[in-house]
Amino acid sequence: MELTVGAILEGKVKSITNFGAFIALPENMTGLVHISEVANSYVSDIRQHLTEGQDVKVMVLGNDDGKVKLSIKRLQARPARENAPRKENTFSGEKPRQSRPAAPAAPAAPKTADQIFEEKLKQFMAESDSKISSLKQHEYPRPRRRR
């Protein structure tokens, strides 16, 4: 059986490793689904998504030197991005888009003494770092003595 890139096949999870899962394909072929091709979200443990013996649909990504590369996530619908901030392209010469005014915020709860202290500490640390960096700019290396 000749596998073509983009073909969709049914397979069974043969074994699971830390880096991916081996899938048994028709006609005694085996392919690998890398851990990055299992789901649309970050996968730290592949065993949370797949189990041995599970039937899965896979898409063929490549067939190089008898190594069949497969993907499960390419057959899944991509999740809609929820209020993801857009990065403006400032190098294209375009003017950045104007965002619409935000809705009026609810009144903030009064700050606790710990929150006030944390804010003051952050402000102090920022000022201190800037003073130290300006002092270091004016420091010159000492000349070394020749022997």
Q: What band does 110 get if pLDDT is binned at 50, 70 and 90?
A: confident
So what's the pLDDT on residue 65?
79
Q: In terms of C-beta density within 10 A (0-12 exposed, 13-18 middle, 19 or more buried), how is residue 39 classed?
A: middle
pLDDT at 56 over 90: yes
So what's the pLDDT on residue 144?
73
So what's the pLDDT on residue 92?
56
Residue 3's φ and ψ, nearest 5 degrees, are -90, 130
So what's the pLDDT on residue 35?
93
For the chain, what is the mean pLDDT?
82
So what's the pLDDT on residue 103?
62
So what's the pLDDT on residue 137?
73
pLDDT at 32 over 70: yes
Kindly state the average pLDDT of the residues 19-45.
91
Architecture of the 8-75 domain: Beta Barrel (2.40)
So what's the pLDDT on residue 106?
61
User: Which tops the pLDDT comparison, 99 or 116?
Assistant: 116
Closest CA to 10 of 69, 54, 65, 62: 54
So what's the pLDDT on residue 90?
55
The tens digit of pLDDT for each residue in 3-14 reads 888 889 999 999
% of the chain surpassing 70 pLDDT: 76
Q: Contact 52/13 with Cβ under 8 angstroms?
A: yes
| Token pair recorded at residue 19 | 């880096």
